[in-house]
Amino acid sequence: MKILFIVSSNIPEVIWNAFRLANIMLEDMAEVTIFLNGPSVQYEGLDSTQFPLKTLAKTFTLSEGQLLA
């Protein structure tokens, strides 16, 4: 199954949930792509202890997820 997430928000919780769900789907052997659009491209600047976006993004890309911006 091929899955595409399009994220266009700069709200950390929204981006965190997209990465979290995408990582879960990668475990189920789906082909997952996340397309960051607009303000969500700057997700690294929104990284915090509550929403570890960099860690989730790294896990996503190392698990063969495709990250587009």
pTM of the model: 0.91
pLDDT of residue 40: 95
pLDDT of residue 54: 96
pLDDT of residue 35: 98
Please give the chain's pLDDT, 69 residues, in tens: 899 999 999 999 999 999 999 999 998 888 999 999 999 999 999 999 999 999 999 999 999 999 998
pLDDT of residue 30: 81
pLDDT of residue 1: 85
Encode 7-69 in three state secondary structure: ECCCCHHHHHHHHHHHHHHHHCCCEEEEEECHHHHHHHHHCCCCCCHHHHHHHHHHCCCEEEC
The residue extents of the domains of the chain are 2-68
